[in-house]
A and B are shown apart, each in its own frame.
Chain A
């Protein structure tokens, strides 16, 4: 059966509409900062405040979220599942979503918040995105092969962001089609 194509915007809008406190991390956060990488899922760290967990659970229900790890039946997230520091790999009607209680050295929403930037990622859709320097710092500490492989691109993107230069001639941007 074909898998659902990722619609990051729809997932993010659902979370924002439900007033969920969360931070976009991982590959998509790096891409939003300008790193040219491809990612197939959306990683986020959520606030584990009890009221936020309630709102988050409602948002996940509206996205028909269920575990990606079981394919024989749909195991839906519950409040106790969301209130853990581990990772929850979900499939939703709008694509894969990885819910992370903490990342790196047990860094949760509250610890990460000061390392984020609010970005408008679509019309009237503002989300908090983990800064590139913090992403690099966390991936350096993780030292997993897949994270190490990504580090040169992230470091150069951060450098280029700090010292902006115009694209070369003939490399003018082409706007993506409006979806």
Chain B
């Protein structure tokens, strides 16, 4: 049985996700033809610019904390 992660990954060999959501008529598809995760784009667009700035900041801070932790080992 595929994990949730595997189910949501695009089919790299074909460049398309193998699921009912890859149907071209389905406007709410999870991946675009070129493999872009459309769910993340819709999720980002649901925020205001101020909230997006916070997301950017939190992402950068998390990555920096991890980098610092790796360097500190």
Q: Which residues of A contact B (CB under 8 A)?
A: 2-9, 28, 31-32, 34-36, 38-40, 95, 119-123, 129, 152-153, 156-157, 160-161, 164-168, 171-173, 175-179
Contact = CB atoms under 8 A, between A and B. Distances in A.
Contacts, number: 120
A100 B49 CA distance: 23
Contacts of B47: 34, 173, 175-176
A71 B19 CA distance: 50
Nearest to A36: B40
11 contacts: A2-B68, A6-B60, A8-B53, A8-B57, A35-B41, A39-B60, A95-B60, A122-B53, A129-B49, A172-B46, A173-B47
B38 A167 contact: no
A34 B42 CA distance: 8
Contacts of A123: 50
Contacts of A153: 36, 41
A31 to B, nearest CB: 5
Contact of B49 (A6, A39, A119): A119
Contact of B57 (A164, A166, A167, A179): A179
A129 B53 CA distance: 12
Contacts of B60: 5-6, 8, 38-40, 95
B53 A121 contact: yes
Interface in B25-63: 27-28, 32, 34-61, 63
